[in-house]
Amino acid sequence: MYLRQAWNDPRLAFKSSDSAEGSSIRVYAWDKMWVPDTFFRNELYSFVHEQTVPNKLVFLKSNGDVWYVMK
């Protein structure tokens, strides 16, 4: 299952040296970022599968838009 989330956090906005509008960077320190506490209403039981490598991907746009994917 893939869980994809997108939100805007103006605290993460940055000035880009790239002239392209909306340039983005890949973030590797996702464990230090705020992430919404997403839950499934009426769930009875759930767990996150243990893996050797975390399956997370975070992109940050210069305007503070965050794109977060978890597998």
pLDDT of 1 strictly over 70: yes
- For residue range 29-45, list pLDDT tens digits in order: 878 888 888 888 888 88
pLDDT of 18 strictly over 70: no
CA dist 12 and 18 (Å) reads 17
What distance, in Å, lies between the first and last C-alpha atoms of the chain? 6
What pTM does this model have? 0.73
pLDDT bucket at 8, cuts 50 / 70 / 90: very high
pLDDT bucket at 22, cuts 50 / 70 / 90: low
User: Which sequence spans correspond to the domains of the chain?
Assistant: 3-70
Contacts (Cβ under 8 Å, ≥6 apart) of 4:
67, 68, 69
